[in-house]
Amino acid sequence: MKKFVMLCVLSMMVVLNLATLEAEEYTNYQEIIFEDGEVELLKEYSNSDYKSYYKKTKKRKMFGWRIHVVNKNEALDFIAETKIKIFNSGLTPISYKIELETKEVSKQQISASGEIKIKGSGTKKQFKGSVDASIKSSVSLTTTTTNSETYEFNIQVDPMTYVSIVTRGTGEVNNGVGSYYFFWIRTKKGGWETFTVLTEYHEIIKQRF
Protein backbone atom coordinates (compact mmCIF):
# COMPACT_ATOMS: atom_id res chain seq x y z
CA MET A 1 0.00 0.00 0.00
CA LYS A 2 1.29 3.45 -0.90
CA LYS A 3 0.23 6.69 0.74
CA PHE A 4 0.71 10.03 -0.96
CA VAL A 5 -0.60 13.57 -0.72
CA MET A 6 -0.20 15.24 -4.13
CA LEU A 7 0.81 14.12 -7.62
CA CYS A 8 0.78 16.23 -10.82
CA VAL A 9 0.24 14.33 -14.11
CA LEU A 10 -0.38 15.13 -17.77
CA SER A 11 -2.71 12.33 -18.87
CA MET A 12 -6.52 12.49 -19.15
CA MET A 13 -7.93 14.98 -16.61
CA VAL A 14 -11.23 14.62 -14.76
CA VAL A 15 -12.44 17.24 -12.25
CA LEU A 16 -14.23 16.12 -9.07
CA ASN A 17 -15.87 18.53 -6.65
CA LEU A 18 -16.63 16.95 -3.28
CA ALA A 19 -19.40 18.27 -1.07
CA THR A 20 -18.57 20.41 1.92
CA LEU A 21 -17.47 18.31 4.86
CA GLU A 22 -19.05 19.10 8.19
CA ALA A 23 -17.86 17.52 11.41
CA GLU A 24 -19.67 14.19 11.50
CA GLU A 25 -21.34 12.87 14.65
CA TYR A 26 -18.56 10.86 16.22
CA THR A 27 -20.82 7.94 17.11
CA ASN A 28 -21.07 7.24 13.36
CA TYR A 29 -17.34 7.48 12.63
CA GLN A 30 -15.95 4.51 10.71
CA GLU A 31 -13.24 3.81 13.26
CA ILE A 32 -12.06 5.19 16.61
CA ILE A 33 -8.80 3.89 18.09
CA PHE A 34 -7.73 4.86 21.62
CA GLU A 35 -4.09 5.03 22.71
CA ASP A 36 -5.20 3.05 25.76
CA GLY A 37 -6.89 -0.07 24.44
CA GLU A 38 -9.01 -0.43 27.59
CA VAL A 39 -11.03 2.75 27.01
CA GLU A 40 -14.68 2.38 26.01
CA LEU A 41 -17.14 4.82 24.51
CA LEU A 42 -20.41 5.44 26.32
CA LYS A 43 -22.31 3.40 23.73
CA GLU A 44 -20.11 0.41 24.64
CA TYR A 45 -20.92 0.45 28.36
CA SER A 46 -22.55 -2.82 29.46
CA ASN A 47 -25.22 -3.17 32.14
CA SER A 48 -22.56 -4.46 34.52
CA ASP A 49 -20.40 -1.42 33.74
CA TYR A 50 -23.25 0.91 34.67
CA LYS A 51 -23.92 -1.02 37.86
CA SER A 52 -20.26 -0.78 38.86
CA TYR A 53 -19.92 2.91 37.98
CA TYR A 54 -23.14 3.95 39.74
CA LYS A 55 -21.67 2.59 42.96
CA LYS A 56 -19.10 5.38 42.68
CA THR A 57 -21.92 7.94 42.98
CA LYS A 58 -23.74 6.37 45.92
CA LYS A 59 -22.46 8.91 48.47
CA ARG A 60 -25.65 10.84 49.17
CA LYS A 61 -26.05 14.62 49.12
CA MET A 62 -28.96 16.90 49.90
CA PHE A 63 -29.37 18.32 46.39
CA GLY A 64 -27.55 18.06 43.10
CA TRP A 65 -25.49 15.76 40.93
CA ARG A 66 -22.77 13.36 42.01
CA ILE A 67 -20.45 12.76 39.02
CA HIS A 68 -18.06 9.85 38.46
CA VAL A 69 -15.49 10.17 35.65
CA VAL A 70 -14.61 6.81 34.08
CA ASN A 71 -12.33 8.03 31.27
CA LYS A 72 -10.67 11.46 31.34
CA ASN A 73 -9.00 13.20 28.38
CA GLU A 74 -8.31 9.88 26.64
CA ALA A 75 -6.38 10.44 23.40
CA LEU A 76 -7.61 8.81 20.18
CA ASP A 77 -7.27 8.62 16.40
CA PHE A 78 -10.29 8.33 14.14
CA ILE A 79 -11.43 7.76 10.58
CA ALA A 80 -14.60 9.78 10.17
CA GLU A 81 -15.59 8.60 6.71
CA THR A 82 -14.41 7.56 3.25
CA LYS A 83 -15.17 10.52 1.00
CA ILE A 84 -14.63 8.79 -2.33
CA LYS A 85 -13.09 5.72 -4.00
CA ILE A 86 -11.68 5.96 -7.53
CA PHE A 87 -11.14 2.69 -9.43
CA ASN A 88 -9.04 2.19 -12.58
CA SER A 89 -9.56 -1.23 -14.16
CA GLY A 90 -8.07 -0.11 -17.48
CA LEU A 91 -4.60 -0.35 -18.96
CA THR A 92 -3.51 3.30 -18.79
CA PRO A 93 -3.19 5.77 -15.91
CA ILE A 94 -6.05 8.18 -15.27
CA SER A 95 -5.57 11.63 -13.75
CA TYR A 96 -8.06 13.33 -11.47
CA LYS A 97 -8.19 16.90 -10.24
CA ILE A 98 -9.59 16.85 -6.72
CA GLU A 99 -11.09 19.77 -4.82
CA LEU A 100 -11.86 19.28 -1.14
CA GLU A 101 -13.52 21.79 1.13
CA THR A 102 -13.42 21.21 4.85
CA LYS A 103 -15.82 23.15 7.01
CA GLU A 104 -15.73 22.23 10.67
CA VAL A 105 -18.86 23.51 12.36
CA SER A 106 -18.63 21.70 15.68
CA LYS A 107 -15.50 20.58 17.46
CA GLN A 108 -17.23 19.60 20.71
CA GLN A 109 -19.77 16.77 20.60
CA ILE A 110 -21.69 15.09 23.40
CA SER A 111 -23.75 11.98 24.13
CA ALA A 112 -25.94 10.96 27.04
CA SER A 113 -27.90 7.98 28.31
CA GLY A 114 -30.51 7.20 30.94
CA GLU A 115 -31.98 10.26 32.63
CA ILE A 116 -29.20 12.61 31.58
CA LYS A 117 -30.54 14.52 28.59
CA ILE A 118 -29.19 16.84 25.89
CA LYS A 119 -30.68 20.15 24.81
CA GLY A 120 -29.95 22.51 21.93
CA SER A 121 -28.69 21.74 18.44
CA GLY A 122 -25.62 22.21 16.26
CA THR A 123 -22.80 23.98 18.07
CA LYS A 124 -25.05 24.88 21.03
CA LYS A 125 -25.71 21.40 22.38
CA GLN A 126 -25.22 20.89 26.10
CA PHE A 127 -26.35 18.59 28.87
CA LYS A 128 -29.76 19.60 30.13
CA GLY A 129 -29.98 21.18 33.56
CA SER A 130 -27.38 21.57 36.29
CA VAL A 131 -25.59 18.37 35.28
CA ASP A 132 -23.88 20.34 32.46
CA ALA A 133 -21.94 22.47 34.94
CA SER A 134 -21.23 19.45 37.16
CA ILE A 135 -19.69 17.53 34.26
CA LYS A 136 -17.66 20.49 32.99
CA SER A 137 -16.22 21.09 36.45
CA SER A 138 -15.11 17.44 36.63
CA VAL A 139 -13.15 17.30 33.35
CA SER A 140 -10.91 19.56 31.26
CA LEU A 141 -12.47 20.39 27.90
CA THR A 142 -10.11 21.60 25.17
CA THR A 143 -11.27 24.75 23.40
CA THR A 144 -10.71 24.60 19.65
CA THR A 145 -11.40 26.99 16.79
CA THR A 146 -13.67 26.58 13.79
CA ASN A 147 -12.18 27.10 10.35
CA SER A 148 -12.82 26.37 6.70
CA GLU A 149 -10.22 25.52 4.05
CA THR A 150 -10.26 24.43 0.40
CA TYR A 151 -7.66 22.08 -1.07
CA GLU A 152 -7.07 21.44 -4.78
CA PHE A 153 -4.61 18.90 -6.17
CA ASN A 154 -4.06 16.28 -8.88
CA ILE A 155 -3.75 12.54 -8.38
CA GLN A 156 -2.91 9.68 -10.73
CA VAL A 157 -4.72 6.35 -10.54
CA ASP A 158 -2.54 3.63 -12.08
CA PRO A 159 -3.95 0.61 -13.94
CA MET A 160 -5.56 -2.02 -11.69
CA THR A 161 -5.43 0.22 -8.64
CA TYR A 162 -7.89 2.32 -6.66
CA VAL A 163 -7.55 5.46 -4.59
CA SER A 164 -9.49 6.18 -1.40
CA ILE A 165 -9.86 9.61 0.16
CA VAL A 166 -10.65 9.39 3.87
CA THR A 167 -11.19 11.95 6.61
CA ARG A 168 -8.92 11.25 9.57
CA GLY A 169 -8.09 13.07 12.77
CA THR A 170 -7.20 13.04 16.43
CA GLY A 171 -9.28 13.83 19.46
CA GLU A 172 -10.04 13.04 23.07
CA VAL A 173 -12.93 11.62 25.06
CA ASN A 174 -14.29 12.12 28.57
CA ASN A 175 -17.11 9.93 29.86
CA GLY A 176 -18.73 8.59 32.97
CA VAL A 177 -21.98 8.51 34.92
CA GLY A 178 -23.93 10.74 37.25
CA SER A 179 -26.62 10.46 39.93
CA TYR A 180 -28.97 13.24 41.03
CA TYR A 181 -30.03 13.51 44.68
CA PHE A 182 -33.07 15.26 46.11
CA PHE A 183 -33.15 15.32 49.91
CA TRP A 184 -30.53 12.52 49.99
CA ILE A 185 -32.63 10.29 47.71
CA ARG A 186 -31.29 9.39 44.26
CA THR A 187 -33.99 10.38 41.77
CA LYS A 188 -32.07 10.32 38.45
CA LYS A 189 -29.06 8.61 36.96
CA GLY A 190 -27.44 8.28 33.57
CA GLY A 191 -24.29 8.30 31.48
CA TRP A 192 -22.52 11.20 29.76
CA GLU A 193 -19.73 11.69 27.25
CA THR A 194 -17.82 14.52 25.56
CA PHE A 195 -15.87 14.09 22.31
CA THR A 196 -13.42 16.77 21.16
CA VAL A 197 -11.93 16.85 17.64
CA LEU A 198 -8.38 18.24 17.95
CA THR A 199 -7.16 17.83 14.35
CA GLU A 200 -8.90 16.79 11.14
CA TYR A 201 -7.44 16.19 7.68
CA HIS A 202 -7.91 14.27 4.42
CA GLU A 203 -5.67 11.31 3.57
CA ILE A 204 -5.24 9.73 0.15
CA ILE A 205 -4.54 5.97 0.10
CA LYS A 206 -3.51 4.12 -3.07
CA GLN A 207 -3.98 0.31 -3.30
CA ARG A 208 -3.93 -2.40 -5.94
CA PHE A 209 -7.03 -4.50 -6.66
Instruction: Provide φ and ψ at 183, rounded to 5°.
Output: 55, 50
What is the Cα–Cα distance from 162 to 66, expressed in whole angstroms?
A: 52
Q: What is the pLDDT of residue 4?
A: 37
Residue range 150-167, pLDDT digits in tens: 878 888 999 999 999 999
- Region at 91 (left for phi over 0; alpha for psi -120 to 50; beta for the rest): alpha
Residue range 3-19, pLDDT digits in tens: 333 333 323 333 443 33
Task: Find out whether 66 and 57 touch, Cβ atoms under 8 Å.
Answer: yes
Task: Find out whether 84 and 165 touch, Cβ atoms under 8 Å.
Answer: yes
Q: What is the pTM of this model?
A: 0.80
The mean pLDDT of 24-35, rounded to a whole number, is 89
What is the Cα–Cα distance from 34 to 25, expressed in whole angstroms?
A: 17
What is the Cα–Cα distance from 95 to 197, expressed in whole angstroms?
A: 32
Residue 49 pLDDT > 60, yes or no? yes
What is the Cα–Cα distance from 109 to 196, expressed in whole angstroms?
A: 6
